[in-house]
């Protein structure tokens, strides 16, 4: 069984030498545990944070131990009540081919109800992030105009489409390539979109949202956040989901220079973590599940094959190689 270890804590952009694919014995499940053969493994931007030693909401990855992350797999051996060999489970021991999981940490998923990979994306953690951040943290309401960055990614593409389905007056997205911008406009139904690499975000946003924005869903931070504050309407809300533009910085970057705009707009900026919003999971599945099945809410996945490419897939997320959720298929 092969598994990815972190060998040294990356400084700046992670390098291949910071990691190793290690051969290990297939682990044996104890009482109350199951042995899972992973089928789909998630790579996510937050994993960059866990590679650092700094204290955060999730513990740093331990050096010379298998890394962790979301995964869906097939139960091969079960010593747990209620789970049988052949069942599929969602769990948190990705970055490896085989995992031993406590039954309490394994969530059964239905391979017939939806493609297994969607439990990591559109119907999983990133989907709930979009739903909770938009509806709860940003307190979206019908008629709002919504700007979302990272809009062709897993979270962002779902934010824009949920806003549209729930009656946003205008949805604007930014992404890092003209191909992604085209997708936002032609497939996801965004009203306006721009490539942030084609010019200053503030100017491109003003052109795309001449009447300003009521909600900004931030996946990126930096220049995007300042631009969004500059375009914020009275009573505007900013939900800070992620700031991927700074994850590899070695020094703190300057914050938005225009925070004083929050006074005249009575604006609000609030960060959130999906893990605090799992109470919304049933409502999320009930509302978003049918949209996905009917095709009203579209999603893409970028699937990379092979455990040996797990690390490259993670680098790809940081570089923007992905459209929609980045997933590794073993």
Residue ranges in contact with ligand NDP by CB under 6 A: 44-46, 126, 129, 150, 152-156, 175-177, 180, 219-220, 241-242, 244-245, 272-274, 317-318, 320, 322
- Minimum separation from the CB atom of position 188 to ligand NDP (A): 13
CB nearer to ligand NDP: give 28 or 278.
Answer: 278
Report the nearest approach of ligand NDP to the CB of residue 312 (Å): 14
Q: What gap in Å lies between CA 76 and CA 105, rounded to an integer? A: 16
The number of angstroms, rounded, from the C-alpha of 268 to the middle of its chain's C-alpha atoms is 23
Least distance (Å) between residue 126 CB and ligand NDP: 5
What's the min distance (Å) between Cβ of 31 and ligand NDP?
33
Q: What are phi and psi of 293, to 5 degrees?
A: -65, -40
Neighbours of 240 (CB within 10 A): 18
Quote the DSSP letter at residue 129.
Answer: H
Q: How far is the CB of 285 from ligand NDP (least distance, A)?
A: 17
Q: Which is nearer to ligand NDP, 211 or 270 (CB)?
A: 270
Closest separation in Å from C-beta 63 to ligand NDP: 22
In the bound state with ligand NDP, the residue whose beta carbon lies nearer, of 4 and 194, is: 194
Q: Which of 88, 70, 77 is nearest to 32 (CA)?
A: 77
Cβ at position 198, least distance to ligand NDP in Å: 12
Taking the least distance from each CB to ligand NDP, the nearer of 33 and 310 is 310
Among residues 2 and 298, whose Cβ is nearest to ligand NDP?
Answer: 298
Task: Give me the least distance between CB of 207 and ligand NDP, in Å please.
Answer: 18
Q: Are 190 and 171 in contact (CB under 8 A)?
A: yes
Pick between residue 212 and residue 324 the one whose CB is nearest to ligand NDP.
Answer: 324
Burial of 263 (0-12, 13-18, 19+ CB in 10 A): exposed
Q: Give the Cα separation of 155 and 189 in Å (integer).
A: 16
Q: What angle do CA 213, 176, 306 make, to 5 degrees?
A: 125
Q: Alpha-carbon distance 210 to 193, whole Å?
A: 13
Q: Are 29 and 100 in contact (CB under 8 A)?
A: yes
- Judging by beta carbons within 10 Å of its beta carbon (0-12, 13-18, 19+), is residue 128 exposed, middle or buried? buried
Nearer of residues 78 and 158 to ligand NDP, judged by Cβ: 158
Helix 154-165 and helix 125-132: axis angle, to 10°? 50
Closer Cβ to ligand NDP, 34 or 243, answer by number: 243
When the beta carbons of 170 and 180 are compared against ligand NDP, the nearer one is 180
Element holding 71 (H helix, E strand)? strand 71-78
Rounded to a whole number of angstroms, the minimum distance from the CB of residue 246 to ligand NDP is 8
- The total number of residues written for the chain in this structure: 330
With a CB cutoff of 8 Å and minimum separation 6, the contacts of 282 are: none
Report the candidate in 232, 222, 220 with the shortest Cα–Cα distance to residue 261.
232
């Amino acid at each position: 069984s092969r598994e990815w270890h972190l060998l040294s804590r990356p400084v700046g952009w992670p390098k291949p030498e910071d990691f190793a694919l290690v051969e290990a014995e297939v682990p044996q499940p104890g009482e109350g545990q199951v042995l899972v053969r992973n089928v789909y493994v998630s790579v996510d931007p937050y994993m960059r944070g866990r590679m650092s030693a700094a204290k955060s909401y999730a513990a740093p990855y331990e050096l010379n131990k298998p890394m962790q992350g979301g995964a869906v797999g097939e139960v091969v051996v079960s010593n747990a009540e209620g789970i049988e060999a052949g069942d599929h489970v969602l769990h948190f021991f990705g970055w490896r081919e085989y995992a031993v999981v406590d039954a309490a940490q394994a969530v059964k998923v239905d391979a017939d109800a939806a493609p297994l990979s969607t439990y990591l994306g559109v119907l999983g953690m990133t989907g709930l992030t979009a739903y909770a951040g938009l509806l709860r943290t940003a307190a979206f309401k019908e008629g709002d105009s919504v700007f979302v960055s990272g809009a062709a990614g897993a979270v962002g593409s779902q934010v824009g489409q949920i806003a549209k389905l729930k009656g946003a007056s205008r949805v604007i997205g930014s992404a890092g390539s003209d191909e992604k911008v085209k997708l936002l406009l032609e497939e996801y139904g965004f009203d306006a979109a721009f490539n942030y690499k084609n010019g200053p975000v503030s100017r491109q946003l003003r052109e795309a949202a001449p009447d300003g924005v009521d909600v900004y869903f931030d996946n990126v931070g930096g220049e995007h956040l300042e631009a969004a504050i500059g375009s914020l309407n009275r009573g505007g809300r900013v939900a800070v989901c992620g700031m991927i533009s700074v994850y590899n910085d070695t020094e703190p970057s300057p914050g938005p220079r225009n925070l004083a705009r929050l006074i005249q707009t009575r604006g609000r900026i609030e960060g959130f973590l999906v893990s605090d919003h799992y109470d919304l999971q049933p409502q999320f599945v009930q509302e978003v599940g049918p949209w996905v099945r009917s095709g009203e809410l579209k999603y893409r996945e970028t699937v990379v094959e092979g455990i040996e490419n797990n690390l490259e897939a993670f680098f790809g997320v940081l570089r923007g190689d992905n459209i929609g959720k980045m997933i590794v298929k073993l």
